[in-house]
Amino acid sequence: MLARAALVLAVATITFLLLWHFALRRYLTSTAGPRNVSPTIGANPAPTILRNSSAAQAAVPVPLTAAQQKAAALSTAREPFFSMLVNQSDGAVGDAEADQLRPSTLIVHMTTTSQAAQVISRIIVPYADQYGFNHARIYVPQDSTTGGAYRLAYELDHPASQGWITFAK
C-alpha cells in the first residue's frame, strides 16, 4: 500500500513538472503584465499585454564626453578643407584626413608624384593652419611594381608664430 502511494505521488509529481515545463510556464509568462478588466459579468476577457514598441526600437544614444564632442566638432569643421584639397587639386589628391593619433597632423595621399609641390604651395601652406593643422605628411604612390603602395615624400611642420617648413624625403 505504501509503495502504491509512493508510485502515485511520483507520477503526479512528474506530470506536474512536465505540465509546468511545457504549458503553464509559457502561459504565465505570456500573460504577465497589466490586464484590461472588462465590466462585463461572466465574460473572461483575453489578457492584453501593453508594450511600448517605439521605446524598444529607438535606443538612447550614449552621451559623448567633452573630448569626444570637441573631436567631432573639429572633424566636422575640417570637412570643407578636405573637400577643397581633393576638388582643387585637379585629381592630384586621392584623399586627405587627420591622423587618428595626432589630430593636428594632416595626411594627404597623392595620385601623382609630379603635382605634390604645387598642391603643397597652393592649398596646404595657405589654408592648413586655419583648420587646426600644424603638421602635414604627403604620401605619393611608389612605382607600379609595388601595387599601389605609398611612400612618404614630404613632411611639413608649422611651429608657432613661424611659417611652414617643408622637408622633402
- Tens of pLDDT along the chain (169 residues) come to 778 888 888 888 887 777 666 665 566 555 555 555 444 455 555 555 555 555 556 678 889 899 888 888 988 999 999 999 999 988 899 999 999 889 999 999 999 888 999 999 999 999 998 999 999 999 998 876 656 688 999 999 998 778 888 888 7
pLDDT of the residue at 156:
93
Distance in angstroms between the alpha carbons of the first and the last residue of the chain: 101
pLDDT of the residue at 127:
92
Owning domain of residue 130 = 74-168
81 with 157, same domain? yes
The reply to whether 88 falls in a domain is: yes
Name all contacts of 107-115 with Cβ < 8 Å and 24+ positions apart.
107/136, 107/137, 107/139, 108/136, 108/137, 108/138, 108/139, 109/139, 109/150, 110/138, 110/139, 110/140, 110/141, 110/153, 111/141, 112/140, 112/141, 113/140, 113/141, 113/153, 115/89, 115/90
100 with 164, same domain? yes
pLDDT of the residue at 84:
92
82 with 133, same domain? yes
pLDDT of the residue at 146:
59
pLDDT of the residue at 38:
47
Number of domains composing the chain:
2
User: pTM above 0.95?
Assistant: no
pLDDT of the residue at 113:
86
The reply to whether 43 falls in a domain is: no
79 with 27, same domain? no
The reply to whether 40 falls in a domain is: no
The reply to whether 83 falls in a domain is: yes
**Residues contacting 52, CB < 8 A, separation 6+:** none
CATH code of residue 125: 3.30.70
10 with 92, same domain? no
The reply to whether 143 falls in a domain is: yes
96 with 21, same domain? no
The reply to whether 110 falls in a domain is: yes
pLDDT of the residue at 51:
58
